[in-house]
Structure 1
Amino acid sequence: MPIHSLSDINSLIIKEKQYSVTVPGISGLSVRVSPNGKKTYYLRYSHPHLTGKRPKMMLGNVEDVSLYEVKYQAESILELVAKGVDPKARHQQEKTNKYAHLKNAPFAEVVQAWRANKIAGRDKGKANRAAFSESTLKFWDLCLGYMCQEIGDLRMNDITSEIILTVCESIQNNKNQATFVGASTRLYTEKVFSFAVARGLCDRNVAVDTRGELAPANSGKHLPAITKPDKFAHLLQDMASFNGASSMTLAAMNLLPYVFVRSIDLRSMRWQDIEWDNELWAFSPTKGEGREDMVSHLVVPLASQVIARLRDIQAITGHNEYVFSSMRASSNAYISKAALVQVFHRLGYKDVQCAHGFRASAKTLLMEQPELRYSDIVTELQLGHRIKDTHGGAYNRLDEIETRVQMMQDWADYIDRLRSDTSSGN
């Protein structure tokens, strides 16, 4: 008997063998009745590419889907077939890629998907990693909010690197915004595009082409700093092999890249400020006193390589107050600024790299290198900066400390790899 209503379906008797009954009006649609009493909608269709093949799709159980709904679903599938699309392959693709509906979607929609995916990924691994802090989420929204305001309605494949760069430059040129906000907006836009490309939502990551085209993310002070991995590797190798200075100056010079604090804070480092058990260095930055843009107390996680270097130095100056005590008969309790300045001049890096420049080097490389990719907010915290335009004085000296501990170890491992990479000289 033909199927015209739910009553007709309910009246189908159960037999010892499975059988099917046609639903009139929709070619290939039927109700299958199983010996266990289960009744299921199926659709057979002519494969759009394979002659003679008629695949079958299950459209749902009778108790879950109405006859009206299943007819509409079947008609939609047959329309795809008429257009040369295999609906079974399409269904499988959508099943494996939950973001398929966002293919070439507006930028603002993909941003929301990226954000939700990041949060969900961190939540799944909560046993090992802390959830993103409220300040981190707010900073994402600040940066990507600027981009969405300008290009949120543009579809992913219509956005060009020129468009992205123009928006980021306008942020950096806004006197009410810090330089790093524009740089961070560029970085997060690149991450959104990377997310989209990996899931087939757009053709390519055009934001990659904007790398290195903005003012550095550190600040408006243009002190010389190397931010390219190959050149940074050369610098590290030159520093490691240099011996034209005192032992304390050399020790300070080679420790500086690992901690990227200001020269004065490293030179005046005190043994009593090192927490050996926790592998932390806690101190009050010299330039943090009375400044709204700087924290008054900074915690620097010490990577295993840093601990090892400090233990070596402790054998020499551990009886003194300062780690880098002056070994010469002078009024200086610790090595002078001039000593570090002269080292980089002698190395041939005048106007190329200075002691302070390691802060910019670290920040840029930590944010942009694929194997690192730490957020702007975490790097800013480690530099001892307040993000005045978004959070004011809300930060605590231990904010994001777990992430910062991991970041500093990853950074130490990264620069050790660069230093030992002999191919960088080619």
Structure 2
Amino acid sequence: MATAYASVPPTGARLWRFRYRHNGNARMLSLGAWPAVTLADARQRRDEARKLVAQGIDPSAARKATKDADALTFEAIAREWLERRDLAPATAKKHHWLLERHVLPVLGAKPISSITAADVLGMLQGLEARGLLETAGRARSQVSVVFRHAVATLRTPGDPTVALRGAIKTPKVTHHAAITEPLKLGDLLRALHAYRGGFVVASALKLAPLLFVRPGELRDAEWSEIDLDAATWCIPAHKMKMRASHIVPLSSQAVAILRELQALTGRGQYVFPSPRTSGRPMSENAVTAALRALGYDGDTMTAHGFRSTASTLLHEQGYPSDVIERQLAHKEGNAVKDAYDRAQHLPERIAMMQAWSDYLDALRKGADVVPFKRRR
């Protein structure tokens, strides 16, 4: 006969339990612990379990089946995939935002094996109708990698997004706005050095053209990564987009700017701390906001554009593409070649970075067309 009772084990906890028989075997089902589960709650759970027993269903097996089904929802597998990925914090944040904002509200509660191409297409078309073409493309890619993870772990037979390639409009490819004409670049550099905002942001503005790292890498710089005597900044792998450590040679101009800044922020963790708290770096929009304050809109120059500026002009001056790409931290597809380049190109990169800083200095001081002095 099915009965419910309270149990008090040696730990002192008060547990609600339900004893019953299924197929002639005695079974026990936990109904929860008091006081989180009240007497009224325990009675309701007991009554639900009794109905299952009366129908010939084992309540314990039914509960396990429900838990297993919950573990196989798209949301559960998507979160598992995110936890297993070794992503840079900024990248992880973007993935979480995309999932929470656009994907999970539509697909999250569905068992992943039940999701069809039509289900995914409906979500993508909703984004397309709102003009969010780039978001729709990113959402399709992210749904696809979650499905591939589920396929690899034997929890679904295939990836329905494969059938959706080309099903939605693709946005026009836009590049980060950048100034690549020497005379206009000279105007920009003079404006950067004339910036009268906060000293931390002013220093970041002066350094951005010299280092051409990604904006997130610049704002997250820590003093422990920088050796001013050796004139190097070693960015750890977990901060890099390609998840490989990266060496940034510091020109004499960059070292001078950093030494001046060190007097202000050198006792803290971050080179460019937030004005509100030294425990966080400055805002990701700080450099962009400063450019806008100087009169440079998003169609003219962006924080990311300093990388394009350097790449374009260095290539025009005949620097080897391998050296430039290594300094931009564009990862090689060949792991052996990647390691070789990292070791062999450093002397060339040191010379290139100093020559680049000298070139920018000359432009800033008003030279019309500056001969680029290639250092070997």
Larger radius of gyration: 1
Q: TM-score w.r.t. structure 2 length?
A: 0.49
Q: Name whichever structure is richer in helix by fraction.
A: 2
TM-score for the superposition, normalised by structure 1? 0.43
